[in-house]
């Protein structure tokens, strides 16, 4: 074990956090209004007494951003976790399906599936993770029958006060970051470097966001509003649901 150098973590963040922000902006650029409208429920907008195109557009774009950013930042944190573990325990990104990180400690091989938060999946998804763990354990033991393989679901934030799940462990928040780094306070220490140039990056994103709202509002008004500017619900429903 090599003690974690927080300066190395800060440098990693500074060099790589830009990729997250760039993907946020790129994701907005790929968004197509009509594709999203086909997946939305126009009855709900009508029931909520939505009156303007911009209300619908902001709802669509904001929902996309919220869902997409959680995924993008979860992927970015996965990379950070693998980097940190590599510095401390020599861990590596796994090539096994459903496993993100592998490392050896105290004579055991740890296989880790990294998720953003504790409530990441339904029963079917959790069942698939368990299957992936069992397959990975069998694969790793093929060449070394005596290898002790420990499966872990690591969650970057949140809590789970019952980490022993029987066939695997679930470490969340402080427990997870401590598990991969040996530093009980890392979960707090990460906050400062993650703010690197956050304001400048968010200003860039806000400009792209504003342009997208204006573009989609204009497109929606031309396609789904009448000459008086009112939303033509029949036209919208036919586009969304007509056979």
pLDDT of 200-230, one tens digit each?
A: 888 888 999 999 999 999 999 999 999 999 9
User: Is the predicted pLDDT of residue 156 greater than 90, yes or no?
Assistant: yes
User: Is the predicted pLDDT of residue 231 greater than 90, yes or no?
Assistant: yes
Confidence of residue 109 (pLDDT cuts 50, 70, 90): very high
Q: Which of 155, 141, 79, 75 lies closest to 108 in space, CA to CA?
A: 141
H helix or E strand, kind and range, residue 101? strand 101-105
Residues 80-97 have pLDDT tens digits of: 999 999 999 999 999 999
Confidence of residue 198 (pLDDT cuts 50, 70, 90): confident
- State how far Cα 91 lies from the chain centre: 22
> What's residue 193's pLDDT?
86
User: Is the predicted pLDDT of residue 197 greater than 90, yes or no?
Assistant: no
> What's residue 32's pLDDT?
93
Burial of 226 (0-12, 13-18, 19+ CB in 10 A): exposed
> What's residue 228's pLDDT?
94
Round to whole Å and give the CA distance between 144 and 148.
9
| Token pair for 67 | 């869902």
Instruction: Give the bridge partners for 170, in sequence order.
Output: 153
Beta-strand pair 101-105/92-93: antiparallel
Instruction: Give the bridge partners for 172, in sequence order.
Output: 155
> What's residue 194's pLDDT?
86
Q: Check if the beta carbon of residue 108 is closer than 8 Å to that of residue 149.
A: yes
Percent of the chain with pLDDT over 70: 100
CA distances for 97 relative to 18, 101, 153, 194, angstroms: 28, 11, 14, 29
Instruction: Give the bridge partners for 101, in sequence order.
Output: 93, 112
CA atoms within 13 A on the CB side of 243: 0
> What's residue 28's pLDDT?
87
Residues 20-66 have pLDDT tens digits of: 989 988 988 898 999 999 989 999 999 999 999 999 999 989 988 88
Angle at 177 between CA 197 and CA 96, to 5 degrees: 100
Round to whole Å and give the CA distance between 199 and 147.
48
Residue 154, SS3? strand
Residues 130-139 have pLDDT tens digits of: 999 999 999 9
């Amino acid at each position: 074990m090599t003690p974690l150098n927080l300066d190395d973590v800060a440098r990693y963040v500074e060099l790589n956090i830009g990729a997250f922000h760039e993907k946020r902006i790129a994701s907005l650029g790929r968004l197509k209004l009509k594709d999203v409208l086909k997946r939305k429920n126009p009855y709900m907008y009508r029931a909520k007494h939505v009156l303007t195109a911009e209300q619908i557009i902001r709802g669509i774009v904001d929902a996309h951003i919220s869902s997409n950013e959680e995924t993008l930042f979860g992927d970015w944190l996965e990379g950070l976790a693998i980097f940190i573990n590599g510095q401390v325990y020599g861990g590596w990104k796994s090539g096994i399906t459903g496993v993100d990180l592998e490392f050896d400690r105290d004579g055991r091989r740890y296989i880790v599936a990294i998720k953003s938060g504790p409530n990441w999946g339904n029963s079917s998804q959790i069942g698939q993770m368990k299957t992936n763990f069992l397959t990975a354990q069998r694969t790793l033991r093929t060449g070394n029958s005596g290898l002790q393989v420990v499966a872990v679901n690591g969650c970057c934030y949140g809590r789970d006060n019952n980490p022993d799940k029987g066939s695997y462990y679930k470490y969340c928040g402080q427990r997870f970051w401590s598990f991969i780094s040996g530093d009980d306070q890392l979960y707090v220490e990460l906050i400062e470097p993650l703010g690197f140039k956050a304001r400048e990056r968010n200003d860039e994103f806000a400009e792209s966001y504003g342009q997208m709202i204006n573009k989609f509002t204009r497109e929606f008004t031309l396609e789904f509003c009448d000459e008086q500017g009112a939303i033509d619900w029949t036209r919208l429903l036919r586009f969304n649901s007509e056979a």
